[in-house]
Every structure is written in C-alpha cells, then in structure tokens.
Amino acid sequence: MVNRELSKREWLDKAEAYCAKSEHCAADVRRKLYEWGAPTDFSDEIEENLYANDFLNDARFCHAYVHDKVAYQSWGRVKIQAGLRALGLPESEIQKSLDEIDEKQYRTNLEALIKQRKSDGEEKRLRFLLQRGFTYDEIKKICK
C-alpha cells in the first residue's frame, strides 16, 4: 500500500466520521487530528467546517456531557463544570447545561454515594464526596 498525504477534504471526511459516531467538542477533534498526524494548518478550517455543518455544537456537547456525568458517573456540579471548562467551552453554554440537571436524579445520586460510603469515617466520606464534585452545602443538606 502506498503511503500518501491526505487532502484537506479527506481530513475533513475523517473528522466528520469521527464526530458522527458520538458527541465531541472542538478540543477532542483537534486532539484527534493531531494524533492522526493531520497538518496543523488544516485544523482551524476543518473545525470551522464541522461547526458550519453541525457536526460540532457546543450546546449539544455540553448537554450530553452533563447528562452522562450525572447519569452514569454520579458527578457533582463542581467537577462537571471543571471538566467542561478544561475543554474550553463557553461559560454561557456550561451554565445552561448545569441548570438543566435533573434535581431528583442528582439528589438520588448523592444519597446513594453517601449510603455507599456509610462505613467510612465522616471526614473520609466528606472528602470523597467533595472530590466527586458535590458542594459542602449539598452534602450537609442530605446528611442531616
């Protein structure tokens, strides 16, 4: 097989296929293009094209990220917010997504984690819950 350089269109097609499989953010795509060895001068243009064709959407990504972290990993708001900020997403989209958290599920997750760590000492349990992204006030409200 002949090893050749891919054209800009081929890099775009590859990035579109990556985005079509699951929700990604611009930082994920940039990292993936780098891993694949795409020329860095293509990255900005590819990213703009992905946004223009709705393969990338910050609001949709934030919503999916928040939903998955609450539903599957029982993360608290603080840790979720830090994760989204680390990906360079707009603060307005982060806040909108955090405001959409299902409070019932969020509380149920926190209660389950408290119950799960019942045998730990109070300090150890508190440290664990803070590391999961729950605030001190949220934890104390449930523990009462």
- Longest CA–CA span in the chain (Å) reads 68
Per residue in 42-72, pLDDT (tens digit) is: 889 999 999 999 999 999 999 999 999 999 9
Phi, psi of 85 (to 5 degrees): -65, -40
pLDDT at 6: 83
For residues 140 and 122, is the Cβ–Cβ distance under 8 A? no
Q: Name residues whose C-beta falls within 8 Å of residue 101's C-beta, 6 or more positions apart in sequence.
A: 66, 70, 77
Q: Is 80 a residue whose pLDDT tops 60?
A: yes
**Confidence at 2, pLDDT banded by 50, 70, 90:** very low
Closest CA to 111 of 103, 123, 100: 103
CA distances from 121 to 10, 74, 131, 143, 144 (A): 56, 21, 16, 13, 16
Structure tokens at 110: 């926190």
Q: Could you tell me the pTM of the whole model?
A: 0.90
Closest CA to 62 of 98, 102, 113, 14: 98
Per residue in 87-122, pLDDT (tens digit) is: 999 999 999 999 999 999 999 999 999 999 989 899
Sort 94 into a burial class: Cβ within 10 Å, 0-12 / 13-18 / 19+.
buried
